[in-house]
Amino acid sequence: MSSTRPLSGLTVIEIGHSVAAPYAGMILGELGAEVIKVENPKGGDPCRGWGPPFTEGTATTFHAFNRAKRGITIDLADSAQVDRLQALIRDRADVLIHNLKYGTLDRYGLSAEMITAEKPSLVWCNVGAFGSTGPLRDRPGYDPMMQAYGGLMSLLGEDGRPPVRVGVSIIDIATGMWSVIAILAALQERQRTGRGGVVDTSLYETTLGWMTLPISAYLANGEIPRRHGSGIEQIVPYQAFETAERAIDRGCKISHRQLTPRRHCFPEEAVVPGLARIVEQLFVAGLQSVANHGFEGQRRLARIREQPIERTDVARVVLVVVEAHGALGNHRLERFVGIGEIGKGEHVRAPVPSHAGADARPGPWPTPGIS
């Protein structure tokens, strides 16, 4: 990409709170758009208080989702301030994003129908809980509820134990990403037609998107998917296994169409001695009953727990060391072993997005009242 700010020149109005809409606004801001975040004057985005920890009096959660933005405060109950917001949208906005409850903006004279009629070039993005149509559109929704309601939590954790939530707000964040995809598509369409339009995303639809494979499997065989911990039912072995020192995550894509396991999955100089031979035994068991691999595999690989991890200088071994204390600070993953030479203890820098450039730095977060 020739530019590090491909969306430079576009103005985005974000009437967002919590995670989903702010995350979408942040992505657009990092891509170069001018993003103006609108908050209420009575405390602002509730995310500002989601702590500890706090940085400069504001929760670090807020900082994490609101880089690269400017900020203003608008009291929607004040008609004069609403008029100023309408003028700002009419005069400057290319995109408007909001994740207020369905119908909220309509009550203040800021409906998508009215605003896009006044400014046909505007791309309006609704970020809702259950979307803008259907019987659940008036209901609120949050990430943990959607992980449960959409079935995602029923797949996480280990069989026989309580459901587990993904530790990060994966539904909120992914909905923000879908919103950006929809906005960019609408902007591309606007280049051809000169008209914007309304796009809708929702937390629930995002959850169903994550459930694509389990739902497809259920429609095919009629069986409720089971939980397999770090493993996956369709591939054997493809999960984490404990050793005497720490857990390792080992993946080897073997399908029922293959007669023998691929040796490159576990080279002769494998980090765990004898692992290749043990995995061959696992492979045979997996062919007999792929659905049981989560249990049979753990039994056959139980002996790995008694063996230490031996670091060698073997190259091209795909192995990730899973450590609870692995740090991501300063874009470094401590004690990471990946594709390439291992055993040298080097720090691996997290990749910078291609649009950002090598010297890119996060933009500032907004302060209410600054226009």
In a domain? residue 329: no
Q: Would residue 277 count as lying in a domain? A: yes
Distance CA 105, CA 46 (A): 18
Give the pairing of strands 197-202 and 332-333: unpaired
- Does one domain contain both 61 and 157? yes
What DSSP assignment string belongs to 329-348?
GGGEETT---SS--SS---E
What is residue 38's predicted lDDT score, i.e. its pLDDT?
97
Residue 17 in domain: yes
Task: Mark whether 198 and 162 lie in a shared domain.
Answer: yes
Q: What is the extent of the structural domain holding 100?
A: 11-210
Distance, first Cα to last Cα, the chain? 31
Number of H helices, E strands in the chain: 11, 13
pLDDT at position 10 is 98
Q: Strand 95-98 vs strand 123-128: parallel, antiparallel, or unpaired?
A: parallel
What's this model's pTM, rounded to 2 decimal places? 0.73
Among residues 150, 147, 134, 119, the alpha carbon closest in space to that of 13 is found at 119
Tokens representing residue 159 in the block: 């069989």
Confidence at residue 323, expressed as pLDDT on a 0 to 100 scale: 30
Closest residue by Cα to residue 39 from 89, 80, 87, 73 = 73
Instruction: Indicate whether 112 belongs to any domain.
Output: yes
**Do residues 366 and 66 lie in contact, with contact meaning Cβ atoms separated by under 8 Å?**
yes
Residue 208: closest CA among 178, 181, 163: 178
Q: 82 in a domain, yes or no?
A: yes
| Pair (256, 293) in one structural domain | yes
The answer to whether residues 56 and 193 belong to one domain is yes
Of 306, 333, 352, which closes a domain? 306
Phi/psi at 46 (nearest 5 deg)? -55, -25
Residue at 257 is within a domain? yes
Are the beta carbons of 144 and 166 closer than 8 angstroms? no
Residue 230 structure tokens: 């770090």
Q: Are residues 242 and 125 in the same domain?
A: no
For residue 73, list its beta bridge partners. Answer: 39
**CA separation for the pair 266, 274 (Å, rounded):** 10
* pLDDT, position 366: 59
Quick one: 126 and 52 in the same domain? yes
Q: Could you tell me if residue 327 is inside a domain?
A: no
Q: Which residues contact 159 (CB under 8 A, 6 or more apart)?
A: 226, 227, 228, 229, 294, 295
Same domain membership, residue 269 and residue 137:
no
Q: Which of 45, 94, 143, 172 is catalytic?
A: 172
Beta bridge partners of 38: 72
Q: pLDDT digit of tens for each residue in the chain (371 aa)?
A: 688 899 999 999 999 999 999 999 999 999 999 999 999 999 999 999 999 999 989 999 999 999 999 999 999 999 999 999 999 999 999 999 999 999 999 999 999 999 999 999 999 999 999 998 889 999 999 999 999 999 999 889 888 888 889 999 999 999 999 999 999 999 999 999 999 999 999 999 999 999 998 989 888 989 888 888 887 777 766 777 666 666 555 554 444 444 344 444 444 334 445 555 555 555 555 444 444 444 444 444 444 444 444 443 222 222 332 332 233 333 232 232 222 232 333 332 223 333 334 344 444 555 554 44
Residues 50 and 136 in one domain: yes
- Number of domains present in the structure of the chain: 2
Judged by phi (left if over 0) then psi (alpha if -120 to 50, else beta), residue 68 lies in: left
| 117, 245: one domain | no
Shared domain for 67 and 188, answered yes or no, is yes
Q: Exposed, middle or buried, 51 (CB in 10 Å: 0-12/13-18/19+)?
A: middle
> Using CA atoms, how far apart are residues 370 and 286, in angstroms rounded to an integer?
61
Write down which residue in 254, 285, 306 finishes a domain.
Answer: 306
What CATH number did the domain enclosing 204 receive? 3.40.50.10540
Question: Could you say which of 285, 306, 327 is where a domain stops?
Answer: 306
Helix axes 212-221, 203-210, angle to 10 degrees: 60
pLDDT of residue 70: 95
Query: How far apart (Å, rounded) are the C-alpha atoms in residues 205 and 228?
Result: 24
Pair type for strands 238-242 and 247-251: antiparallel
**Quick one: 143 and 179 in the same domain?**
yes
Residue 248, pLDDT score: 56
Annotated catalytic, 172? Answer: yes
- Whose CA is closest to 25, among 94, 110, 105? 94
190 and 291: one domain? Answer: no
Q: Is residue 125 part of a domain?
A: yes
What pLDDT is recorded for position 235?
73
